[in-house]
Amino acid sequence: MKHFFFLTIVLFSLASFAQENGTISGTLTDKESADGQPLPFASVIIKGSTQGSTSDFDGNYIINNVVPGTYTLVISFVGYETKEVANVVVVSGQTTTVNEIIGASAAQLEEVIVQGTSSKRESVQALLVEQQNAVVQKQSIGAVDLSNKGVSNAAVAVTKISGISKQEGGGNVYVRGLGDRYQNTTYNGLPLPSNNIDKKNLDLGLFSSDVIQNIGVSKTYAANFYGDFAAGNVDIKSKEHSGDAFIDVDLGTTINTGSVGENFVKSEGTGFFGFYNRYQNNPFAVILSHGVDPIASDGTTGLSGSISGGKSWDIGEESKLSLFATTSFGSNYEYRRGQAANYTLLANTIYPDSEEFEYSRTTTALANIVYRINGDHKIKFNSLFINDATDEIGFFGIGGNGQNRNAILNTDRGFFTQNNQFEQDMIYVNQITGTSRLNEKIKIDYGVGYNKVLARQPDRKRVTLERYDLALDNDPSTNPTLFSNVVFDNQRYFQNIDDDEINGRVNVNYKSSENLSFNFGYNGRSKKRSFDNQRFGYDIIEPNTEVTDVNNFDAIFNADNLGTVFNTSVFRPLEGLGTENLPGQLENTYEGELNIHAVYADAVYKYGEKWTFSPGLRIEQFNQEISYDVINLAFNNPGSNEASETFFLPSLNIKYALKDDQNLRLSVSRTVSNPEFKEVAPFVYENVVDRIGGNPDLLNDPAFSSIINVDLKYEWFFERGQIFSLAAFAKQINDPVNLVSANDATGTQRFFRTGDKAEVFGLELEARKALLLDTEEESLLSAGMNITYTHTNQDLKDVTGTFNTNFDRDSDELQGASPFLINADVSYTPTFGNYKPKANLVFSYFSDRIDALGSGQLSNIVEKGVPTLDFVWKNNIGENIELNLSTKNLLNPTIERIRENTVDGDVALSSYKRGVNIGLQFKYKF
């Protein structure tokens, strides 16, 4: 690769004084890539001579100093047809342009796949070339690397990129240690919705590797990104078909060491594939018809399976239609055991021993159709459906040791809660994207998308007992009793979120000269959210009602006991009716609307051989509205808030090529951070041991955080597929938003603009090196590592408004930021004849970070650092069969959230181990 660049640069240099002869140049396009990708590394030779060139990453080639005359060009690339172009006329002092589309040679295609040298932007070295050439600092991981590293989904994938950490037990990732709020996720360059009310970004774990072409993370800003950008943008490119028709089938099983031997339970009424069939019923009918007890699940072995297929049809000489479709299903069991607590300044509720049974199912279906009209025009339809469902059954306070400060009978022991919930998130993404090259100079990229999210939490059941210890004492004459301080201590809960979004983008690229090009573009999105919930409390009629069998709450909470043992109660009765033993109105509702329209322009200017400048400006019109009707707000609360802003967001990216293989990059930009619907809607979600709500004041002036970003990076591509880079970054975030324990009587956590500014400084180191090469100079043993250190500091101030908060200190770290992130991996890929196993050991670590700032005298809630070690072993047996073994979370660390520095020291609010996941997969290629 180094040689290639050297050659290219030499040829470019020659071009400036080789005027007496002529020049042949042009662009090669890959017919197999569905979106008209350029074909890099192809050889272009003048037939009968030794004169020629190689196409660069953009598919461009140039042959200088050609004696005038008529020639035939021979274009070749491994695995592709060798194409001869006759009658190429070269005139003195002029450039002859020859653009060609090169298709795969059917006979040799298999060889290409086997050798893994596909030209698609999937391989490590191809992506490193892209990283080297891009003006914007961007890192990507492609399908080949995903497969080699045994990466199962996008969330794991991005942790292979420096400065990224994954939240343990969830698919949410943190770029450069900054939180969810400071990053974006896009799919084919268009915004992706979140599946979780608590998050801005979608759970990347929902994207299985099978549907990913590549994932790119951009950590510096460019004008074509939405202005809501601080830490980075994650873009997932959906898989497209190229080459021969194929069908893959795989089947697998997963075992979680923590779950084996447990009597696993799940919610009643949820299906094998994670669907639920009672949404159309009134919730009151559901609670009368169905009980509260969990049921046994079928074993503890997770299953997985998928079918994918693709086929392409040539239409005429130039056109091609490609279809790719995949559907997959996976289930997983996880058992967690440990402490759960609500601890503020003192212990409110502590369950020293709790267990949770999590049974999750994911179904993914993706189809895309790519119609490549010719080398210049391409259009693609892309449709994605994800169903992500999780049953979670929690028994808090097993062993009879639960304590509740407000218990009635005994505050020291026997407090117990059973929480039985199911969540189903259905995500539909439909996109049409396309590319058109109008002429030599103008290329248009465009896309429109429609996203829909249905996030449901139907029928969460919560039962609370006092004196649970009496259920364990083998004395049938003493029994626990139902705790009923508030009527909602025992309750059923139903929640619905609907999101709709329409978005679009168009970019016009104008190539003014070899050294200067411009982009002009628009992107916009219009998103709506509708939220509602209903809740039914069980008002226990007899005080201290005894429970004779803690495994049979259905004996109490059944329709026959309505009005005799309990009354149901709602917050908001139906018009003219009472709150008891009747359906009710929706308890909390909110509607959110977000409209963003932006135009931008940037330029890429190459000055000399070493400098590339890319200045850009984005003008973004932002409007966000929230209207809500939620319980327990001040009588004079307006029930809505709105903000409209126009942002001017300049950016400058500079690349300086120190040497052929070394770059120095500088990036400076202004961006913003806008609040999410869930942060501005004052609805409070009540977990078993904590409560989290939004704050509409975030849309008061200032309604956004203004951010200045500066990045400086040195990178050295010292060998093919190997890199060393060091980056320093600094950010100033004005008016940052943090999650804070609010200053009200319930200790609810809410979002506040807690200070005037936060400062962020960091260093990022990345190295990837081949440690051993085989006889063919291919990597045998290689290692990669990246380390990020981030220092954050923000000032803190008192906040008054709809909700208030104050602090006993002037400054603290930024919520959600981890000072240290480490990712490391070792790959061993030996060859034993036809047996080519791939073994990967992958390690990642993030250090302690603030989960919520403590207000008043409260100390912070801290998410403790977690190391993760995975081992993946892939075995290709012959041409058709793959047998893969994966062992994940080998270190099995304790996952812990604590309230630090209390009078009782650090107190675990949650603490558990996830167990080691061992998976075996059998894959067959037809």
Of 84-143, which residues contact other proteins (CB under 8 A)? none
Rounded alpha-carbon distances, angstroms, from residue 354 to 335, 418, 519, 905: 11, 10, 56, 21
Three-class secondary structure of residue 493 per DSSP:
strand
Q: How far apart, in whole angstroms, are the C-alpha atoms of residue 749 and residue 678? A: 12
- Encoded one letter per residue, x for contact with other proteins by CB under 8 A and - for no contact, window 723-742 reads ------------------x-
Sole binder of other proteins in the list 69, 271, 563, 830 (CB under 8 A): 271
Sole binder of other proteins in the list 59, 227, 747, 816 (CB under 8 A): 747
Shortest spacing between CB 275 and other proteins, in angstroms: 5
CA 163 to chain CA centroid, nearest Å? 14
573 Cβ partners below 8 Å, 6+ apart?
579, 582, 584, 585
The number of residues that bind other proteins (CB under 8 A) is: 92
Give 45 or 409: the residue with its C-beta nearer to other proteins: 409
Does position 855 interact with other proteins (CB under 8 A)? The reply is: yes
Q: How far apart, in whole angstroms, are the C-alpha atoms of residue 63 and residue 326? A: 43
Segment near other proteins (CB under 8 A), from 23-31, 284-292, 842-850, 876-884?
Answer: 284-292
- Interaction residues for other proteins, span 526-585 (CB under 8 A): 535, 537, 539, 542-543, 569, 571-574, 576-580, 582-583
Shortest spacing between CB 601 and other proteins, in angstroms: 41
The H or E element that residue 361 is part of is strand 347-372
Q: What radius of gyration, in Å, describes the C-alpha atoms of the chain?
A: 30
User: Can you read off the two tokens belonging to residue 307?
Assistant: 């079918």
Sole binder of other proteins in the list 746, 831, 880, 901 (CB under 8 A): 746
Shortest spacing between CB 926 and other proteins, in angstroms: 7
Give 583 or 650: the residue with its C-beta nearer to other proteins: 583
Does position 290 interact with other proteins (CB under 8 A)? The reply is: yes
Q: How far apart, in whole angstroms, are the C-alpha atoms of residue 419 and residue 537? A: 14
Shortest spacing between CB 32 and other proteins, in angstroms: 16
Shortest spacing between CB 412 and other proteins, in angstroms: 8
Sole binder of other proteins in the list 633, 726, 770, 824 (CB under 8 A): 633
Does position 632 interact with other proteins (CB under 8 A)? The reply is: yes
Shortest spacing between CB 685 and other proteins, in angstroms: 10
**C-alpha atoms less than 13 angstroms from C-alpha of 374 in its C-beta half-sphere:** 9
771-807 CB burial, b ≥16 within 10 A, e <16: eeeeeeeebbbbebbbbbbbebebbbeebeebbbbeb
Shortest spacing between CB 755 and other proteins, in angstroms: 17
Shortest spacing between CB 304 and other proteins, in angstroms: 15
Shortest spacing between CB 368 and other proteins, in angstroms: 11
Give 99 or 806: the residue with its C-beta nearer to other proteins: 806
- Interaction residues for other proteins, span 782-841 (CB under 8 A): 802-804, 806, 808
Give 124 or 384: the residue with its C-beta nearer to other proteins: 384
Give 52 or 583: the residue with its C-beta nearer to other proteins: 583
Q: How far apart, in whole angstroms, are the C-alpha atoms of residue 719 and residue 707? A: 36
- Encoded one letter per residue, x for contact with other proteins by CB under 8 A and - for no contact, window 227-266 reads ------------------x-x-------------------
**DSSP string over 764-828:** EEEEEEEEEE-TTS-EEEEEEEEEEEEEEEEE---B-SSS-B-BSSSEEPPTT--SEEEEEEEEE
Shortest spacing between CB 69 and other proteins, in angstroms: 47
Give 147 or 743: the residue with its C-beta nearer to other proteins: 743
Segment near other proteins (CB under 8 A), from 232-240, 267-275, 433-441, 501-509?
Answer: 267-275
Does position 454 interact with other proteins (CB under 8 A)? The reply is: no
Shortest spacing between CB 246 and other proteins, in angstroms: 8
Does position 420 interact with other proteins (CB under 8 A)? The reply is: no
Does position 52 interact with other proteins (CB under 8 A)? The reply is: no
- Residue 438 carries which DSSP code? -
Q: Which amino acid is at 801?
A: G
CA 749 to chain CA centroid, nearest Å? 24
Sole binder of other proteins in the list 284, 371, 416, 912 (CB under 8 A): 284
Shortest spacing between CB 577 and other proteins, in angstroms: 6
Shortest spacing between CB 539 and other proteins, in angstroms: 8
- Interaction residues for other proteins, span 357-376 (CB under 8 A): 363, 365, 367
Shortest spacing between CB 345 and other proteins, in angstroms: 5
**C-alpha atoms less than 13 angstroms from C-alpha of 896 in its C-beta half-sphere:** 16
Give 433 or 569: the residue with its C-beta nearer to other proteins: 569
Rounded alpha-carbon distances, angstroms, from residue 748 to 53, 93, 355, 537, 682: 66, 75, 24, 20, 11
Shortest spacing between CB 390 and other proteins, in angstroms: 14
Sole binder of other proteins in the list 686, 778, 882, 900 (CB under 8 A): 686
Give 289 or 646: the residue with its C-beta nearer to other proteins: 289
User: Can you read off the two tokens belonging to residue 813?
Assistant: 């770290």
Residues 60, 65, 66, 68: is their CA dihedral positive or negative? positive
Q: Look at the block and give the residue holding tokens 């890429």.
A: 604
Give 13 or 282: the residue with its C-beta nearer to other proteins: 282
Does position 477 interact with other proteins (CB under 8 A)? The reply is: no
Contact 856, 900 (CB under 8 A): no
Q: How far apart, in whole angstroms, are the C-alpha atoms of residue 718 and residue 720? A: 7
- Residue 483 carries which DSSP code? -
Shortest spacing between CB 241 and other proteins, in angstroms: 9
Does position 296 interact with other proteins (CB under 8 A)? The reply is: no
- Interaction residues for other proteins, span 869-908 (CB under 8 A): 903
Three-class secondary structure of residue 207 per DSSP:
coil
Give 572 or 769: the residue with its C-beta nearer to other proteins: 572
Residues forming beta bridges with residue 911, ordered by sequence position:
896
- Interaction residues for other proteins, span 313-342 (CB under 8 A): 323, 325, 327
Beta-strand relationship, 905-913 and 917-925:
unpaired
Three-class secondary structure of residue 549 per DSSP:
coil
79-100 CB burial, b ≥16 within 10 A, e <16: bbeebebeebebeeeebbebbb
Shortest spacing between CB 321 and other proteins, in angstroms: 11
259 Cβ partners below 8 Å, 6+ apart?
300, 333, 334, 335, 357, 915
Rounded alpha-carbon distances, angstroms, from residue 225 to 39, 42, 232, 521, 904: 26, 32, 10, 10, 47
Does position 744 interact with other proteins (CB under 8 A)? The reply is: yes
Give 311 or 528: the residue with its C-beta nearer to other proteins: 311
Sole binder of other proteins in the list 491, 517, 674, 840 (CB under 8 A): 491
User: Can you read off the two tokens belonging to residue 772?
Assistant: 């051993």
Does position 639 interact with other proteins (CB under 8 A)? The reply is: no
Beta-strand relationship, 265-266 and 295-296:
antiparallel
Q: Look at the block and give the residue holding tokens 């320093």.
A: 728
Three-class secondary structure of residue 146 per DSSP:
helix
Q: What are the backbone angles phi and psi of residue 690, rounded to the nearest 5°?
A: -155, 165
Does position 405 interact with other proteins (CB under 8 A)? The reply is: yes
Give 126 or 684: the residue with its C-beta nearer to other proteins: 684
Shortest spacing between CB 797 and other proteins, in angstroms: 13
Segment near other proteins (CB under 8 A), from 15-23, 99-107, 437-445, 484-492?
Answer: 484-492
Give the chain's end-to-end CA distance (angstroms, integer). Answer: 35
User: Can you read off the two tokens belonging to residue 736?
Assistant: 């940052």
Other Cβ atoms within 10 Å of 25 Cβ, number? 19
Segment near other proteins (CB under 8 A), from 254-262, 285-293, 615-623, 700-708?
Answer: 285-293
